[in-house]
Amino acid sequence: MAEVSAVTHRRVLGNALPIVLSNATVPILGAVDTGVVGQLGEAAPIGAVGIGAIILSALYWIFGFLRMGTTGMTSQAHGAGLRGEVAALLVRALIVGLAAGIVVIALQAVLFRGAFLLSPASAEVEGMARDYLAVRVWSAPAAIGLYGLTGWLIALERARAVLVVQVWMNGLNILLDLWFVLGLGWGVEGVALATFLAEWSGFALALWLCRGAFAQPAWRDWPRVFDKRRLKRMAAVNGDILLRSLMLQAIFVSFLFLGADFGDVALAANQVLLQFLHITAYALDGFAFAVEALVGQALGARDRAGLRRAAVLSSLWSLACVVILSLGFALAGGAIIDLMTTAPDVRLSARDYLPYMVAAPVLGVASWMLDGIFIGATQSREMRNMMGLSLLVYVVAVAVLVPVFGNHGLWAALLISFVARGVTLGWRYPRLEALADRA
């Protein structure tokens, strides 16, 4: 058992704040991607970049389990002082990530054909989007591999390294966007090439920042790396996280589809207000990621008190963040809405539903933090099962509330699903502390 440092406020913030700053660069990049092609003076390139990016994001999202699973297992191995296993976990994550990227490249024709069937566009937009995808898909191994590298760095509390990678990658992407599109006139292909180069360079930088693992002979201890028991555990953890994530995605996708039934104005208002949830997620993810590493290390070190302190301190800071978010949405929500849309009817409709956004951080904070706690403890089966219960609660809430209250009922059902996730995972939390005694 390894000696684990005390969990302090400074340690929590040292892990959380770099992730929050890292997340802040993501919407900036999206705005620049849209802005540079917008300078071409045509609508089709904007739509093509948007559709292409969404298709790849959806594909890569499937492999998000690699980030979460790697963080949980690596933090536990680190807490237990298993340096060889820490190195081996990095290699396993890299193998899975690179192999998944190669599969995406090999199946690109089928995957993209299916995507355009589900989301048809004009011939001009689809043609440009295919050109975009034909370039960007070749960085799939890097993009997916980065999930594993990021998870490994977070597990070792190297959040600043994650920030460095994200700032480098998105900063380079922005500079190349400006050069390739505005300077060289390469259009949509220029945006794709910029992202391709940025993703591979980000992967290379992250790999270099993980170089300490390759000083351990265990990284090439192939019997350990391919140990059947460890691979089976990795598959089980990642499989459960994938199923949990699919159920969570089902809630948001159904929310969007059901919102379309209330007309274009309500649909547009819902889209605007979902950006408030994205802001909330970007902020709370920092504290959720921090607690993943701290809980995993405490569990690996069989430190029940440390596990509880990590959960409590991270949650306290997340609550402080929630107060700021809710107050900010209450005071400046109308101005934020006005920045995102100029349509008077959409502005009016979005303001009608703004109270749900003020309540969302408060009602959702427990679900975000408990997700992080359970990921750190690699209790993915519990996450999967409690997500199943929460999905059921959401379905019942939709069936009861939407016919009576319309779009208000839909928003209420979504927030009820947040509460359900928090309550069900909170119900199972005491089991995690008991695990620390016998880990």
Rounded CA-CA distance 143/404 in Å is 44
Tell whether 245 and 378 lie within a shared domain.
yes
The domain boundary, picked from 226, 250, 273, lies at 226
* Residue 31, pLDDT score: 64
Tell whether 284 and 366 lie within a shared domain.
yes
Tell whether 286 and 191 lie within a shared domain.
no
Tell whether 198 and 264 lie within a shared domain.
no
Model confidence at 369, pLDDT cuts 50, 70, 90, reads very high
Cα separation values, 415 from 239, 287, 347, Å: 26, 20, 21
Tell whether 180 and 264 lie within a shared domain.
no
The answer to whether residue 231 is domain-embedded is no
The answer to whether residue 119 is domain-embedded is yes
**What is residue 7's DSSP assignment?**
P
The answer to whether residue 384 is domain-embedded is yes
Tell whether 196 and 249 lie within a shared domain.
no
Q: Which domain holds residue 410?
A: 236-439
Residues 240, 321 contacting (CB under 8 angstroms): no
The answer to whether residue 243 is domain-embedded is yes
What are 124-161's pLDDT values in tens digits?
A: 878 888 999 999 999 999 999 999 999 999 999 999 99
Tell whether 200 and 282 lie within a shared domain.
no
Q: Share the mean pLDDT of the chain.
A: 89
The answer to whether residue 163 is domain-embedded is yes
DSSP track, 24-83: HHHHHHHHHHHHHHHTTS-HHHHHHHHHHHHHHHHHHHGGGHHHHHHHHHHHHHHHTT-H
Tell whether 400 and 266 lie within a shared domain.
yes
Model confidence at 1, pLDDT cuts 50, 70, 90, reads very low
Nearest CA to 317 out of 4, 5, 10 is that of 10
Rounded CA-CA distance 282/18 in Å is 11
What are 217-272's pLDDT values in tens digits?
A: 888 889 988 999 999 999 999 999 999 989 998 898 888 788 878 887 888 888 88
The answer to whether residue 333 is domain-embedded is yes
Best mean pLDDT range from 14-18, 57-61, 206-210: 206-210
The domain boundary, picked from 226, 255, 271, lies at 226
Tell whether 219 and 242 lie within a shared domain.
no
Rounded CA-CA distance 198/297 in Å is 32
The answer to whether residue 283 is domain-embedded is yes
The answer to whether residue 309 is domain-embedded is yes
State both tokens at 100: 């998944």
Tell whether 42 and 147 lie within a shared domain.
yes
The domain boundary, picked from 203, 226, 249, lies at 226
Tell whether 195 and 240 lie within a shared domain.
no
Q: What are phi and psi of 343, to 5 degrees?
A: -75, 120
What are 14-48's pLDDT values in tens digits?
A: 999 999 888 877 777 766 776 777 776 676 777 77
Count of domains observed in the chain: 2
Rounded CA-CA distance 276/210 in Å is 34
* Residue 438, pLDDT score: 64
What are 75-104's pLDDT values in tens digits?
A: 999 998 999 999 999 999 999 999 999 999
Rounded CA-CA distance 159/413 in Å is 34
